[in-house]
């Protein structure tokens, strides 16, 4: 089915926005919405609520608020799975070894600075799309609006 998913180009990769957009489009996605923004600590904390208390949480918030990010609404057949495949694994070493053409292999630096984010399920995609694009319809449809 045609799905919408949510992605972020993280601070360490946001200066590569144009190259990453080109790759995303090459891979058959439609970029329905995109916006470059600075995340506040408060918004970052709300977005990453599920990771609160984990060992990497502080580093994650610090990093995600360290510079501009690009938030994106993406559309494709099986978009959630396809976007995670294009991103590659969270661990950049693993990405470089086993998925060398993935975005994390190319643009990521390490486990924290791993270049991109993507929703891990359709449920997360809906929540995350609503969080950053409150006016966008998250219902599955062929419409790119």
- Please tell me the distance from the alpha carbon of residue 88 to that of residue 96, in angstroms, as a whole number: 9
Q: Does 111 bind ligand CMP (CB under 6 A)?
A: yes
Q: What stretches of the chain show up as alpha helix (H) in DSSP? A: 17-26, 41-47, 57-64, 79-87, 92-98, 103-107, 122-132
Provide the minimum distance between the beta carbon of 142 and ligand CMP in the complex, in angstroms, as a whole number.
28
Residue 60 as a binder of ligand CMP (CB under 6 A): the answer is yes
Of 21 and 57, CB closest to ligand CMP: 57
Pick from 117, 123, 122, 47: nearest CA to 84: 117
104 is in an annotated binding site: yes
Answer yes or no: is 90 a known binding residue.
yes
Question: CB of 137: closest distance to ligand CMP in angstroms?
Answer: 24
User: 107: Cβ–Cβ under 8 A, 6 or more apart, which residues?
Assistant: 12, 13, 16, 20, 115, 116
Q: Tell me if residue 34 is catalytic.
A: no
**Chosen residue from 30, 65, 66, 90 binding ligand CMP by CB under 6 A:** 90
Q: How far is the CB of 18 from ligand CMP (least distance, A)?
A: 21
101 is in an annotated binding site: no
**Long-range contacts: 43-49, Cβ < 8 Å, 24+?**
46/131, 47/128, 47/131
Positions marked catalytic = 117
Interacting residues toward ligand CMP by CB under 6 A: 51, 56, 60, 90, 111-112, 114, 117
User: Which residue positions form the known binding site for ATP?
Assistant: 10, 56, 84, 90, 104, 114
């Amino acid at each position: 089915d045609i799905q919408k998913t949510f992605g972020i180009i993280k601070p360490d990769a946001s200066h590569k926005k144009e190259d990453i957009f080109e790759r995303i489009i090459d891979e058959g996605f439609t970029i329905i919405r995109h916006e470059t923004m600075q995340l506040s600590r408060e918004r970052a904390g709300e977005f990453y609520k599920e990771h609160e208390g984990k060992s990497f949480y502080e580093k994650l918030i610090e990093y995600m608020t360290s510079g501009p990010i690009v938030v994106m609404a993406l559309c494709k057949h099986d978009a959630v799975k396809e976007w995670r495949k294009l991103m590659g694994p969270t661990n950049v070493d693993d990405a470089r070894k086993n998925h060398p053409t993935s975005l994390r292999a190319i643009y990521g630096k390490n486990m924290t600075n791993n270049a991109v984010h993507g929703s891990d399920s359709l449920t997360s995609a809906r929540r995350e799309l609503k969080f950053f694009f409150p006016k966008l319809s998250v219902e599955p449809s062929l419409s790119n609006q």
